[in-house]
Amino acid sequence: MFYSVLLYHEIRERGMLRVGQSSPIEVAQDYQDQLPAPLFTTREQFAEQMAYLAENNYHTLTLSEIENYHYDNTGLPEKSVLLSFDDCYQSVGLYAYPILKEYGFRATAFVVTGWLNAEAKGFASERSVCMAQEELARMTDVFEYANHTHSFHTRQDATTSKLMLVNEQELKADLKRCSAHPLIRVKNVFAYPFGLYSKQNVKLLHEEGFRLAFTCEAGRNDRNTDPLLLKRNVISYKMDMDSFRHIVE
């Protein structure tokens, strides 16, 4: 028995997608970075992918089901997949949420709580804009929210994130601040920013009582997978349906 985790970031109408161009990120914190083009998919592709899962009777997992699978040896439905979204950009509410709700699917979004805007902003197709707390609160019939740090979603370079550089006390304080946010009702699940981590990060999560943590390493998860190093498959606009089916089947 195994399950796959799908990772989405941004969605655009096909005509809006700027192939090969990164997108400026706009969040509440003073943060300068670009979202790479491969982290986008189109609304049309997303709709086709979700239709495939529905037509083939896939079960969309909750975090508690995954925790029970790894720690209590419970089973999972034969066709199981976790739908995950990082960073909570506007398109998740605009495009993903209605499609997921139509099929009765559940999903997880990893929230950088320090990024949440104070108020909802108009949709900007040329930028990657974070949602506001009130927008996320309206989607709890589909989404459960988990920890993606409060202020440590930054990086020094392609292989080093701030998470890997701060001292233990700073990281503990940030994890607690994020988990204390009223949106974060799942307190013991984490996603590594950019999928980057150190052995010390994994050790600290274990010591702080985290039960699940997600990387960006592609592949499937089974009972032999370390639950603090779970694999996720980035779904890009470059992916065709044959490749998508291979990931979930």
Residue 51: band (very low, low, confident or very high) from pLDDT cuts 50, 70, 90: very high
Classify domain 3-240 at the CATH topology level.
TIM Barrel (3.20.20)
Q: What is the pLDDT of residue 102?
A: 98
| Contact (CB, 8 A) for 117 and 159 | no
Q: For the segment 54-98, what is each residue's pLDDT rounded down to a tens digit?
A: 999 999 999 999 999 999 999 999 999 999 999 999 999 999 999
pLDDT at 5: 98
What lies within 8 Å, CB to CB, of 71 at 6+ separation is 211, 227
Domain ranges of the chain: 3-240
Positive or negative, the CA dihedral 125, 131, 135, 141 is: positive
pLDDT tier at 20 (50, 70, 90 boundaries)? Answer: confident
**Predicted confidence band of residue 19 (pLDDT cuts 50, 70, 90):** confident
Per the model's pLDDT, the better-predicted residue between 107 and 17 turns out to be 107
Residue 43, SS3 per DSSP: helix
Percent of the chain with pLDDT over 90: 95
Average pLDDT, the chain: 97
pLDDT band at residue 18, thresholds of 50, 70 and 90?
confident
Predicted confidence (pLDDT) per residue in 180-194, tens digit: 999 999 999 999 999
Cα(100)–Cα(80) distance, integer angstroms = 15
Pick from 27-31, 47-51, 196-200, 242-246: least confident: 27-31
| Residue 239: strand, helix, or coil | coil
Tell me the one-letter amino acid at 234.
V
Q: CB–CB of 87/9 below 8 Å?
A: yes
- Reply yes or no on whether the pLDDT at 209 is more than 90: yes
DSSP structural state of residue 184: -
Beta strands in 116-206 (DSSP E): 128-129, 143-147, 155-157, 160-161, 189-191
3-state secondary structure of 89: strand
Would you say how long the chain is, in residues?
Answer: 249
Helix residue ranges, H only, the chain = 43-55, 63-71, 90-91, 97-103, 133-137, 168-179, 199-207, 241-248
Residue 207, CA distances (Å) to 117, 160, 168, 182, 227 in order: 31, 22, 11, 23, 14
Q: Are 171 and 211 in contact (CB under 8 A)?
A: no
Query: Among 246, 81, 111, 82, which Cα is nearest to 191's?
Result: 111
Average pLDDT over residues 207-219: 98
Establish how many alpha carbons lie within 13 A of residue 245's alpha carbon, considering only the half-sphere containing its beta carbon: 8
